[in-house]
Structures are given as structure tokens and as C-alpha cells.
């Protein structure tokens, strides 16, 4: 099911931030869903659900990179983050690592498709019943000690 990135973005779209002439901008959107289970005094508590969303912007300008993260995914929030990343790139001029900007998508191998990252959080968890049993076992162990 598709979700909107924020309420002000129709159809879940975002407006890509503008960068100064000669700068390259990359934008990485992250959405993490979480569920917490707890057992208190032997009683399973209602699950706590959470969603965290944010963006990491990287700006390459004159051989330097500047970074800025934001949870504000509105067009204005992304533009402000891009402007802060530009300030960091300018501040790093002559002091940074002189990182080369990555190749643009137009330089990529035709038909190669996007790259996908598989992190450690992608490993499947035990079933919910198994997790609840583990919580009950831990509570009873801690009460005995």
C-alpha cells in the first residue's frame, strides 16, 4: 500500500530541492516502521507502533561534499536542508577530503536498474508468538533471581 510522504505532498510526490549552479544533489528517503512488545508483571501490553521518516541530502560543490538530514519532508523543509548542505560544502572547501561527485544517472549503464541495499534489519524476526514467549520467559527468570 502506497503512503504519502507527508500531508502536503499530493500523490506522495516530493519536489526535489534546487541546488546552486554547478552543484549536484542526492536525496535518500528513509522510512522505518517499528513495533515494540512488552510484558509487565506477566501481562502482555498492547504493542507500541511507530514510524520514523526522514531524508538525507548530499550536495557536491566544487569538489567538496556537504550533508544535512531532516524529518521535514515538505518542499520547504527539503529546500532548507539542501541549503544547509550547500553551506557545509562551502565551509569544507580546502579543508575536506575533496570527494568526487558520483556519476549522474545518465552516465549509468543502460538497463542496469537501481541498486538495492540489504541491511541487517532486513533479517526476518521470530514469530510474534515466539517473541511473546521469550518475553514471558525473561520476566519469569528475572523474578526468580
Residue-wise pLDDT tens digits, 76-100: 899 899 999 999 998 888 876 666 6
Order of strands, sheet of 64-70, starting from the edge strand that comes earlier in the sequence: 24-36, 48-61, 64-70
Picking from 50, 59, 52, 3, the residue whose alpha carbon sits closest to that of residue 30 is 52
- For the chain, give the percent of residues with pLDDT over 70: 68
Q: What's residue 7's pLDDT? A: 45
Question: Quick check: 123 pLDDT over 80?
Answer: no
> What are the structural domains of the chain?
10-102 (3.30.2290.10)
pLDDT average, residue stretch 10-39: 78
pTM score: 0.58
Distances from the Cα of 95 to the Cαs of 23, 81, 91, in angstroms? 18, 21, 8
Q: Which residue has the cell 508483571?
A: 41
Amino acid at each position: 500500500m502506497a503512503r504519502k510522504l507527508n500531508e502536503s505532498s499530493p500523490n506522495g510526490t516530493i519536489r526535489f530541492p534546487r541546488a546552486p549552479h554547478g552543484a549536484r544533489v542526492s536525496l535518500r528517503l528513509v522510512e522505518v516502521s517499528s513495533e515494540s512488545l512488552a510484558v509487565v508483571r506477566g501481562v502482555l501490553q498492547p504493542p507500541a507502533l511507530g514510524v520514523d521518516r526522514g531524508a538525507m541530502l548530499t550536495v557536491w560543490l566544487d569538489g567538496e561534499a556537504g550533508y544535512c538530514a531532516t524529518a521535514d519532508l515538505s518542499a520547504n523543509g527539503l529546500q532548507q536542508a539542501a541549503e544547509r548542505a550547500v553551506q557545509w560544502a562551502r565551509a569544507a572547501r580546502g579543508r575536506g577530503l575533496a570527494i568526487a561527485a558520483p556519476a549522474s544517472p545518465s552516465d549509468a549503464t543502460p538497463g542496469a536498474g537501481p541498486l538495492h541495499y540489504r541491511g541487517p534489519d532486513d533479517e526476518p524476526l521470530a514469530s510474534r508468538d515466539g517473541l511473546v514467549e521469550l518475553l514471558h520467559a525473561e520476566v519469569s527468570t528475572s523474578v526468580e533471581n
